[in-house]
Chain A
Amino acid sequence: MRARPAEAPKAAGAIGLSLVAVFWLGLIILLPLVTVLFEASKGGIEPFLAAVAEPDTIAAIQLTLLVAAIAVPLNAVFGIAAAWCVTRFEFRGKGLLLTIIDLPFTISPVIAGLVWMLLFGAQGWFGAWLRLNDIHIVFALPGLVLATILVTFPFVARELIPLMNDQGTDEEVAARTLGARGWDIFFRITLPNIKWALLYGVLLCTARAMGEFGAVSVVSGHIRGQTNTLPLQIEILYNQYESVAAFACASILAGLALITLLLKSVLEWRFAGELAANRRH
């Protein structure tokens, strides 16, 4: 079996289809990006810098980085552990576990925030107890982290599972037979084999963690300078008709998105064979 090679569009139909594709991607995908960059640069460099240097915005950037710095490593460790047990062993309920890992891809981010309110909100299961003990989860950092983790936890696992399935266990079993210990096997054989896929998963996870809006919006409480992440700060500024400031913040996140796309493409072109085939997102 061989795939058909790509060729320059020559027939009228081919040129027509190509034009439709280019037009639609330009209109639907590129134009919103151009809008962000255009609106952010409208007032010139000074209003842009003033907006970014605003204390509330700086606090929002710091909070966004902090949330991602907690959520992403936890999800990376989970992804490795889940991929190890799912691809290296047989056990009952594996299919169910895989389905649960996929669930955040189809649930609404609002649900991912709502569930934490039902647990830890004022009228949630543990609400009264938390108030009694003066512990703050929702409308505070822990809630933001939990909501972010729930939305982003499949990203690393979903990259590693198909790849480790394809790679099989031959090298690891050989090392074990020769007497290597568990962590030696992991660090010397497994990790070098999966490092690019791990990086790819971490990249997608980080991008989503820093840009998440719906889930954190539910649990944040929107306290300016305290529980607003950068996407939430954008919402507040936009709703207050501070358009330049809103788009200045938006352009920071758009820049991050472009860097993510660039790194992602580089990884895909450079290490196609070492990344999982058949990926879903």
Chain B
Amino acid sequence: MTASAPAQPTNGVPENFTPPHPSLHTNRVLPGFKVSLGFTIAYVSLIVLIPLAALAARPWEHGWAGFWSVLTDGRVLASLRLSFTTAGAAAVLNLFVGTIIAWVLTRYKFPGVKILDAFVDLPFALPTAVAGIALCTLYATNGWVGSLFAPFGIKIAYTPIGIFIALVFVGLPFVVRSVQPVLADFDAEVEEAALTLGAAPWQTAIRVILPGLAPALLTGFSLSMARAVGEYGSVIFIAGNMPYISEITPQLIIIKLQEYDYAGAASVGLIMLLWSIVILAIINAAQMWLFQRGRA
């Protein structure tokens, strides 16, 4: 309100009254605010905040130099490079194939498609250690799939290719499940209009549908990548765990812990935590984008 505004009747409200901040002014008709918020904050503090504070505090035992020397160590750098490149490659492949799968599951009807749909979530439900030993057996040189590649001199298990395969397995459902609901809700009229105006089906797909999917694709890619970088159980059996060659970062953290190098383990852990926070921010931004698009 500006000073030039005409005087309003005050209805008995003192002239210098200012309403409380909107975030404090709530319609607390319902009970249980203090109890539920208190319990929630206590639980989150004990389970997440205090433990993460311990992680953030530990790397500085030997100062900034100690932290830096851990991160620039050749073995740590090699593991970070391996973890991020295999996770990125797996997420890119999942982005393409996952989108095709989501498309087929929402657009086509054929016998067994519902069952196929339910099985997409198997990597969420199957314990990672179970997936790990199954993939290792399958892709070993005497396994069902590994033996097909062995005659060409291609080893999959115990090499970075094996890590890549395991990360494709754990990441696939994230892309499918992010894209599927958006594709299912896509307005049929927009597509039909494009087709009626003479667009070829592939043009409709690329020019009309793909831009609408962009936020969901970003979400799926980020979730798939986040999971893949931190993945442990399904990878360690097939990875081979050779320092500098096939040793992933989570494995290196465990090795440092076993050597009682807590500060070193925490340094690498802190980098991975910061990475998780960044990717979470990207996912939240993508969700906002999707939400705004839905309202536009």
Whether A associates with B in a native complex is yes
Contact residues of A with B, CB < 8 Å? 1-9, 11, 13-14, 17-18, 20-22, 24-25, 27-33, 35-36, 39, 77-78, 81-82, 84-86, 88-92, 97, 99-111, 114-119, 121-125, 146, 149-150, 153, 169, 172-173, 176-177, 181-182, 185-186, 204, 207, 210-214, 217-218, 231-232, 234-235, 238, 243, 246-247, 250, 253-254, 257-258, 260-262, 264-265, 277-281
CA–CA, A115 and B273, complex, Å: 11
8 intermolecular pairs with C-beta atoms under 8 Å apart: A8-B109, A14-B108, A18-B110, A21-B101, A29-B120, A110-B253, A211-B127, A250-B133
A21 touches B23 (CB 8 A): no
A238 touches B237 (CB 8 A): yes
CA–CA, A29 and B135, complex, Å: 10
CA–CA, A7 and B103, complex, Å: 12
Contact of A213 among B109, B128, B279 (CB under 8 A): B128
With A32-B169, A235-B129 as known contacts, state yes or no: A109 contacts B47, CB within 8 Å: no
B181 touches A278 (CB 8 A): yes
B187 touches A107 (CB 8 A): no
B232 touches A108 (CB 8 A): yes
Which residues on the A side are within 8 Å of B124 (C-beta)?
Answer: 204, 207, 281
A85 touches B44 (CB 8 A): no
Considering only CB atoms, which chain B residue lies closest to A1 in the complex? B187
Which residues on the B side are within 8 Å of A173 (C-beta)?
Answer: 29-30
CA–CA, A56 and B138, complex, Å: 27
Main secondary structure of the interface of B (DSSP, over half): helix
CB of B97 closer than 8 Å to a CB of A: yes
A108 touches B272 (CB 8 A): yes
Which residues on the A side are within 8 Å of B132 (C-beta)?
Answer: 213
Considering only CB atoms, which chain B residue lies closest to A150 in the complex? B47
Among all A-B residue pairs, the 5 with the closest Cβ atoms = A108-B230, A211-B127, A115-B51, A214-B232, A213-B233
Contact of A91 among B30, B37, B121 (CB under 8 A): B37
Which residues on the A side are within 8 Å of B295 (C-beta)?
Answer: none
Interface residues in B224-276 (C-beta closer than 8 Å to A): 226-227, 229-233, 237, 250, 253-254, 257, 260, 262, 265-266, 269, 272-273, 276
